Amino acid sequence: MLAIALAAAALQPSQPATLEVERDAITDRVSAAAVVRAPEGRLVIGCDPEEYPGLRITVYSTRGWFARPEFVSRSRRFTFRFDRARPVRLTWETERRTAWIESRRVATAMIARARAAQRLAIRAKDVEGREMNFLFDMAGTRPLIDQAVGICNGAFVPTSLPRA
């Protein structure tokens, strides 16, 4: 089943990764994200100080829900693999179609691995227990991730953003 899903994903045209930067009109807080799109969803690496502290790696699904809003525990175990490295099973927090790593230490380590990776595969289950596979083409995303992390850490804030 995974082979069929990966083959189908490979046939889909890939959209280039993007850097998305916004400045809040009221607080002037800047959010930045490197966004990698795939047919199954998108991978976002960056920060949004209005929503959460620090850096975060987030997966958004276009095909299924990770969790129902009424679940007591929003945690789910996902398996991920960078390139040909050993697969890792890790707990992600979920809300509807969104999943993220809550631990800043783990998120930082995963972002560091994403900077050097060519590919990231993530396997999760939807709310009904069906397998969902995400395959993100990470080739060439390092400069975008570095820019997003730099903006999030305050090292670089683009001057072209509108000021309130």
**Residue 123 is inside which H or E element, if any?**
strand 119-125
Q: Label the pairing between strands 30-38 and 41-47.
A: antiparallel
Domain assignment present for residue 160? The answer is no
Which tokens hold the place of 24? 């809040």
Domain assignment present for residue 42? The answer is yes
- pLDDT averaged per 10 residues in sequence order, the chain, 164 residues: 48 75 89 95 94 94 78 81 96 92 93 96 89 95 95 72 48
Which CATH number fits the domain that encloses residue 23?
A: 2.60.40.1880
Domain assignment present for residue 162? The answer is no
pTM over 0.85: no
Q: What is the pLDDT of residue 124?
A: 92
Domain assignment present for residue 158? The answer is no
Which tokens hold the place of 43? 């991978």
Dihedral angle over CA of 53, 58, 64, 68, nearest 10: -20
Domain assignment present for residue 67? The answer is yes
Q: What is the pLDDT of residue 122?
A: 96
Domain assignment present for residue 83? The answer is yes
Please list, in sequence order, all residues whose beta carbon lies within 8 angstroms of the beta carbon of residue 123, skipping any fewer than 6 positions away.
2, 78, 79, 80, 131, 132, 133, 134
Domain assignment present for residue 25? The answer is yes
Full domain range(s) for residue 55: 2-152
Domain assignment present for residue 27? The answer is yes
Q: Label the pairing between strands 75-82 and 119-125.
A: antiparallel
Q: What is the pLDDT of residue 72?
A: 62
Query: How far is Cα 141 from Cα 18, in angstroms, rounded to an integer?
Result: 8
Q: What is the pLDDT of residue 159?
A: 57
Split into its structural domains, the chain has a count of 1
